[in-house]
Structure 1
């Protein structure tokens, strides 16, 4: 068995690893690169392998940085099956069609501003490309042991990151390769804890937060409540860039759990994301994946997805109308890194106001608008306009969907024997720090791959 590292090797986004096993070729992930315009241009580059020669794709979960280039892969000749956990398979149409819509809108906007002599902008892919790609998706259950390909067996284990997220276990040629996917924190609301894996001959493990630990969840939730109380006192709005899968659902869960003590009934809550509204429906179809506490919460009052003051905006006109509200509104909108989507329109209107509070509840990749704001930028450019930032900024890291350094170390310690490993899906500082901790605690020297590195299992 052999692994070719092709993406998210030295960075967080663009996850993609080619595996050769039992005379077959399969791809772990086909994610989109996210960040600066220069970084995202890599999504248009040819794949460093022949897509038509692939026998299958295996996905860990439905976030765009793990699945967002699948239509591009099909456009380049891939004709095999795409395997994913059943809830992930339900989320893929929502995520990829939304991505295609944004690609088409961005290309249309660029062409309206195109100067004479400039080439016409083209979307990375269209909604029609997505529909053709979705025909190849094959849903699987956690814990099943299907023969993925002749001589290659597959098991998906719950990774606790988002609904349907999985760690991938491949067995071929008498060897076992494990890919962690993105791992969640133990005790994350709604989801079950990451499932341990018994053994591996090589482990590919994420390292997004390999250099830090999150704030205690109890303290984090308390901090969120304090931010909301202060925002109400100041009379401003609260903007929350949130991914449609994961953070949005957790926020609504905490609003329901703290309905009385946070005074949530006084707010107007807007879920300004048609995609997130569709994701909520998928969550409602997969209660079997919830933890016991979440199943009880969904039977209680108020139901997190049906708060009495929650408005789900579908149309552009409804979204624009929110900006006429100058206080008392909580606006949850995509995308989570503020690199596109409806949150940009709200930021353009509200960032100049001191009473506005913007709350970041997830990872902000290098080159994104979210990262620039977290790093303290005083001016940002949104839709061609320079916007001065007076809004108060809050980073609530304890709500991250990713395991922190201790969570990653605990999961690694769950193997029967410490396996050889390569650290992926992390910026250089993060994976170097995690590699140092693993070497100190377990005596295992982690490989820090770059794109193009090949490892034998």
Structure 2
């Protein structure tokens, strides 16, 4: 089995791996300025997508800009999320370098999309493929690929028929979140491609993070302030809604997260507790943005959960200028802030460029680790099921370092470089 790493090797973003020159795993974008896309010119026979985040699906429609029409395989939520992100990219950047596809390319995606649930084997480019719940966001999947097998065939670890089983972890979490349960799947594999986003981090216990967040927000509201909660639309917005509902924190929800929440409620089997999500939706107040509603909300004693998670656009651009001068108010960052983004600048300097102006912020600024990725302990715990299996480390800023750590622990491992082809 030949694996060509077209993106996500030694980096986070633009994930793309070509298997046997025919089966493409993910096709994302890296949101630099200008954005970066997978390297090389690829024309796969089929595409399999692990989950619906921009760094894994952001460039998918561009695969259909020529004459090729490869089928695209994903879970139902991943398909919906990919289409939502693509429409947003077209709306914001259509016709520029930041959008590598057209409206017509996006329409073609609907013609070739094929959805599958977990543990429902299917055929793609001559390979047997099966999805397993990865515990990252709704619909996220570990992808198990067996070359030369039909969907109806089965294989056990004791088989010795020359076929290779590849496990592509995608992004995963081993601990429970309120929105999704941690992964428990450990399918037999002959080689593993493992993400390493937080391989050099130890997450604080989730319950302790949640309690600190809730106490901080409640204190600010009691003091008469407003809390802006920047959050990614996919996964994080819904997680923060569930937390606010559980701790009886009044909240508004704004941005793309509203649309994503409504969509996820159509797929109750892909969330941990569909009833809890329904209650969180009833607890929150969705912002319409009409008639100056956003400015009025900033005077309310409430949490405002809004995109974007790194303050690089979205309704947050309205809320931050309105609440920034009052030191009673608070901005609580809920996810990793990439260097160079306004969110990162705000954490580091107390100032950020908002809508073209650098603004000092007197409001309190806090950061909480609500990551949907496994940390080092979680990754190592997952890989303990594959102690005798070659590990290829990708999707991280420190892949070489982590590969060396695993090797010191007795694993056979390496960190492929961008553009490299590895034979396994």
The alignment's TM-score, normalised by the length of structure 1, stands at 0.83
Tell me the SS of whatever aligns to 2:305.
strand
CA distance in 2, matches of 1:75, 1:391: 46
Deviation at 1:351, TM superposition (A): 3.4
Matched, 1:218 2:207: yes
Render the CA deviation track for 1:413-453: whole Å, top value 9, x for unaligned.
Answer: 123x432112111112xx35533442343x12432222111
Larger deviation: 54-63 or 134-143?
A: 134-143
Larger deviation: 154-163 or 124-133?
A: 124-133
Deviation at 1:190, TM superposition (A): 3.0
CA distance in 1, matches of 2:5, 2:50: 16
Compute the RMSD of aligned alpha carbons.
2.3
Match of 1:28 among 15, 25, 28: 25
Equivalent residues of 2:47, 2:70 under 8 A apart: yes
Matched, 1:167 2:142: yes
Correspondence list, 1:9-408, <5 A: 9-20=9-20, 25-35=22-32, 37-38=33-34, 40=35, 42-43=36-37, 48-51=39-42, 53-104=43-94, 123-150=99-126, 152-172=127-147, 174-259=163-248, 264=249, 267=250, 269-273=251-255, 275-291=256-272, 294-295=273-274, 297=276, 303-307=279-283, 310-315=284-289, 317=290, 321-324=293-296, 325-374=298-347, 376-397=348-369, 399-408=370-379
CA distance in 2, matches of 1:392, 1:128: 45
Tell me the SS of whatever aligns to 1:135.
helix
Deviation at 1:155, TM superposition (A): 0.7
Render the CA deviation track for 1:323-364: whole Å, top value 9, x for unaligned.
Answer: 243341321112222223222332343334423311122222
Deviation at 1:197, TM superposition (A): 2.4
Tell me the SS of whatever aligns to 2:413.
coil
CA distance in 1, matches of 2:23, 2:167: 14
What is the total number of aligned residue pairs between the two structures?
Answer: 409
The alignment's TM-score, normalised by the length of structure 2, stands at 0.89
Deviation at 1:76, TM superposition (A): 4.7
CA distance in 2, matches of 1:449, 1:76: 29
Equivalent residues of 1:377, 1:389 under 8 A apart: no
Larger deviation: 349-358 or 202-211?
A: 349-358
**Structure 1: segments with no counterpart, 5+ residues:** 108-119
Equivalent residues of 2:390, 2:413 under 8 A apart: yes
Equivalent residues of 1:103, 1:124 under 8 A apart: no
Deviation at 1:124, TM superposition (A): 3.8
**Structure 2: segments with no counterpart, 5+ residues:** 149-162
CA distance in 1, matches of 2:293, 2:412: 55
Match of 1:449 among 413, 416, 419: 416
Greater relative contact order (CA < 8 Å, ≥ 6 in sequence): 1
Equivalent residues of 1:9, 1:424 under 8 A apart: yes
Identify the residue that residue 111 of structure 1 maps to in structure 2: none
Distance 1:306 1:7, change over 3 A: same
Identify the residue that residue 157 of structure 2 maps to in structure 1: none
